[in-house]
């Protein structure tokens, strides 16, 4: 029984790290650009399909893990140049309109290319099987997922907290005008940040592929959870995305054991509880 | 030729016509003040020079090149730095990060501004939100210097500061002037202006109503009575 809980806690951590990767991109984009990206979930879905397609074409999971997120980031970079930047100065409703449009294009494209029925993705050979710790055994791939996401999270933290680019992103979340006055090209910063944030969603998609497969309608579901995580953690907060992602991952995973019917409900329950306690989220600023 | 040549600019906030044909010049190595009552358009003039507000007509030439219509960061890179009225300190960044994001090649290095403001060195690991008003002003000036501009714009740098801090800011502005940097200073404190300036302009209701050298301004008491008296 204890092993079952341990199993679910590890599952929750893995799921939580996936949620973290998705949400941190959403929250960085919102923080710097004050832009609401409703296409975020669709880019995650695209990551899943790129994992499937690259694996099917080459059989190389590592290649998919590298090229998938880069391709998603490149697409996001192009979309930002072409469409997204035209609506930054407009109210949030316009952000939603244009990104829902982008999400629909991505979703329908996935259906046209890969069909309306989902694809399952094999676990890469090197990560098949279980790791045994005494009597307890846990799937290798899921352990890899937790470790790999943690490394990415740490690298991202270094990027945001220890580099000039990161300092500019944080500064820009306070005042883009002042950042421009110091001679930094804010438009370039916006493009890079958008590509980075969306690329992280793509990475989360590739990573979750071998567990959940690829499905054209993953976007809206994932987007909903990402917003819950961002609301719990606090808009624009890196630490908030991590704490919120892990919390939701653990709640969802443990509840499937304790009360399966209420697992989805409890995600929103957790959000409501956090908002009542801290209206701006765990790490939010007023 | 003047380093900065503002010619007949008209700037608006929405429909409100704030600058009604402002013209002024700042020469190489000159320190010029822009005086005037609250709401006269001083801050808007600085914003129009830096590109934050885009003048609807008129021209702003910097080092011979037109800046109206260019992006804010392009104007900044051409060599204009602004110390804004609200100081523009990033609260989420440490003091040192606030400085480092502004660093560009040139005469002023990080160690130079720490020499200029030892207090900032002591507080380099503090968050921008943990500074006093005086420290924020020092940081804002230090940051502008690290941009290594040819022209420094200051918007009321001594406003709301204790007299000791005002003296320190004045000392620093004297040092900055000695390096040959051109300065356009918006300031309400006349004593500060008279200590520093080569020339003065007075702005009223969006127009330049007086310009004169420091000596002319000092000799002509009627100017301050007419245009500046109510500021006290």
**pLDDT tens digits for range B200-209:** 999 999 999 9
Considering only CB atoms, A170 lies closest to which of B72, B92, B143, namely: B92
**pLDDT tens digits for range A81-112:** 999 999 999 999 999 999 999 999 999 999 99
**pLDDT tens digits for range A199-249:** 999 999 999 999 999 999 999 999 999 999 999 999 888 999 999 999 999
pLDDT, mean of residues B1-23: 94
User: Which of these, B198, B193, B196, B195, lies nearest to B224 by C-alpha position?
Assistant: B193
Across A3-46, where does the E strand assignment appear?
Answer: none
Percent of chain B whose pLDDT exceeds 70: 98
pLDDT, mean of residues B24-28: 97
**pLDDT tens digits for range B141-166:** 999 999 999 999 999 999 999 999 99
pLDDT, mean of residues B221-231: 75
CB B227 within 8 A of CB B202: yes
A40-58 helix and A61-82 helix, angle to the nearest 10 degrees: 140
Chain B 69-88, residues with CB within 8 Å of chain A CB atoms: 71-73, 76-77, 81-82, 84, 88
The pLDDT of residue B2 is above 70: yes
State how far the Cα of B197 lies from the Cα of A222, in Å rounded to an integer.
61
State how far the Cα of B199 lies from the Cα of B177, in Å rounded to an integer.
13
What is the CA A65 to chain-centroid distance, rounded? Answer: 15
Considering only CB atoms, B73 lies closest to which of A171, A174, A184, namely: A184
- Tokens of residue A279, six digits: 């209206």
State how far the Cα of B210 lies from the Cα of A33, in Å rounded to an integer.
43
**pLDDT tens digits for range B181-192:** 999 999 988 889
Confidence bin at B110 (pLDDT 50/70/90): very high
Query: Which residues from A are below 8 Å from B97, CB to CB?
Result: 167, 170-171
Please give the pLDDT value at position B211: 94
The total of other beta-carbon atoms located within 10 Å of residue B39's CB is: 12
Please give the pLDDT value at position A211: 94
The pLDDT of residue B170 is above 50: yes
The pLDDT of residue B180 is above 60: yes
In degrees rounded to 5, what are phi and psi of residue B59?
Answer: -135, 150
Q: How many domains does chain B have?
A: 1
Domain layout of chain A by residue ranges? 2-277
- Tokens of residue A239, six digits: 């630490």
Please give the pLDDT value at position B165: 94
* A29: contact with B, CB 8 A cutoff: no
List the domain range (segments joined by +) for residue B122: 4-231
User: Which of these, B178, B49, B45, lies nearest to A181 by C-alpha position?
Assistant: B49
Distance from CA of A154 to the nearest CA of B (A): 19
Distance from CA of B232 to the nearest CA of A (A): 31
- Round to the nearest angstrom and report the end-to-end CA distance of chain A: 43
Please give the pLDDT value at position B231: 47
Q: What is the largest CA-CA distance in chain A?
A: 61
A140-162 helix and A186-212 helix, angle to the nearest 10 degrees: 170
* A160: contact with B, CB 8 A cutoff: no
Query: Which residues from B are below 8 Å from A182, CB to CB?
Result: 73, 76, 81, 101-102, 143, 147
In the DSSP assignment, the letter for residue B160 is: T
Please give the pLDDT value at position B147: 96
State how far the Cα of A196 lies from the Cα of A156, in Å rounded to an integer.
10
Query: The pTM is what?
Result: 0.92
Q: What is the largest CA-CA distance in chain B?
A: 49
Please give the pLDDT value at position A286: 59
The pLDDT of residue B221 is above 90: no
Confidence bin at B30 (pLDDT 50/70/90): very high
Query: Which residues from A are below 8 Å from B100, CB to CB?
Result: 164, 167
- Round to the nearest angstrom and report the end-to-end CA distance of chain B: 36
Q: Which residue has the higher pLDDT, B1 or B195?
A: B195
Return the CATH class of domain A2-277. mainly alpha
Say whether B15 sits in a helix, a strand or coil: coil
Confidence bin at B232 (pLDDT 50/70/90): very low
Distance from CA of A286 to the nearest CA of B (A): 13
The residue of B101, B141, B148, B149 whose CB has the most chain A CBs within 10 angstroms, and thus the best one to mutate to test that interface, is B101
pLDDT, mean of residues B116-135: 95
**Predicted complex ipTM:** 0.94
* A256: contact with B, CB 8 A cutoff: no
State how far the Cα of A107 lies from the Cα of A73, in Å rounded to an integer.
17
In the DSSP assignment, the letter for residue A119 is: B
Confidence bin at B230 (pLDDT 50/70/90): low
State how far the Cα of A175 lies from the Cα of A36, in Å rounded to an integer.
17
State the count of interchain CB pairs (< 8 A) between A and B: 62
Mean pLDDT of chain A: 94
* A159: contact with B, CB 8 A cutoff: no
Query: Which residues of chain A fall below pLDDT 50?
Result: none
């Amino acid at each position: 029984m204890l092993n079952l809980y341990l199993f679910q806690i590890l599952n929750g951590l893995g799921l939580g790290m996936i949620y973290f990767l998705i949400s941190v991109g959403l929250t960085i984009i919102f923080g710097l650009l004050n832009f609401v990206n409703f296409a975020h979930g669709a880019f995650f879905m695209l990551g899943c399909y790129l994992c499937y397609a690259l694996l099917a074409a080459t059989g190389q999971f590592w290649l998919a893990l590298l090229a998938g997120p880069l391709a998603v980031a490149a697409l996001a970079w192009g979309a930002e140049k072409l469409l997204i930047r035209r609506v930054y100065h407009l109210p949030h409703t316009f952000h939603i309109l244009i990104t829902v449009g982008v999400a629909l294009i991505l979703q329908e494209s996935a259906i046209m290319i890969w069909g309306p029925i989902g694809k399952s993705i094999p676990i890469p050979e090197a990560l098949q099987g279980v790791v045994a710790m005494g009597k307890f055994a846990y799937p290798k791939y899921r352990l890899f997922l937790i470790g790999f996401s943690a490394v990415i999270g740490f690298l991202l933290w270094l990027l945001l907290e220890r580099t000039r680019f990161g300092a500019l992103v944080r500064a820009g979340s306070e005042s883009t005008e002042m950042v421009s006055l110091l001679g930094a090209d804010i438009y370039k910063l916006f493009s890079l940040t958008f590509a980075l944030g969306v690329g992280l969603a793509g990475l989360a998609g590739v990573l979750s592929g071998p567990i959940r497969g690829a499905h054209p309608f993953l976007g809206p579901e994932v987007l909903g959870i990402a917003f819950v995580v961002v609301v719990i953690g606090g808009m624009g907060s890196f630490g908030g995305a991590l704490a919120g992602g892990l919390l939701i991952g653990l709640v969802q995973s443990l509840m499937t054991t304790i009360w399966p019917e209420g697992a989805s409900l409890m995600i929103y329950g957790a959000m409501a509880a956090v908002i009542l306690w801290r209206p701006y989220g765990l790490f939010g600023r007023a | 030729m003047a380093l900065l040549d503002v010619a007949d600019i008209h700037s608006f906030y929405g429909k409100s016509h704030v600058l009604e044909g402002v013209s002024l010049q700042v020469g190489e190595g000159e320190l010029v003040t822009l005086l005037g009552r609250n709401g006269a358009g001083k801050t808007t003039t600085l914003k129009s020079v830096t590109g934050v507000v885009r003048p609807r007509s008129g021209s702003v030439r910097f080092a011979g090149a037109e800046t109206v219509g260019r992006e804010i960061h392009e104007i900044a890179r051409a060599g204009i730095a602004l110390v804004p009225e609200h100081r523009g300190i990033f609260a989420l960044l440490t003091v040192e990060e606030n400085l480092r994001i502004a660093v560009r090649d040139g005469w002023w290095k990080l160690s130079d501004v720490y020499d200029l403001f030892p207090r900032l060195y002591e507080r380099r690991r503090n968050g921008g939100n943990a500074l006093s008003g005086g420290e924020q002003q020092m940081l804002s000036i230090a940051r502008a210097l690290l941009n290594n501009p040819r022209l420094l714009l200051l918007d009321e740098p001594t406003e709301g500061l204790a007299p000791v801090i005002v003296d320190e800011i004045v000392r620093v502005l004297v040092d900055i002037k000695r390096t040959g940097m051109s300065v356009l200073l918006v300031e309400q404190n006349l004593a500060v202006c008279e200590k520093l300036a080569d020339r003065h302009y007075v702005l009223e209701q969006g127009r330049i109503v007086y310009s004169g050298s420091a000596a002319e301004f000092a000799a002509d008491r009627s100017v301050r009575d007419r245009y500046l008296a109510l500021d006290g």
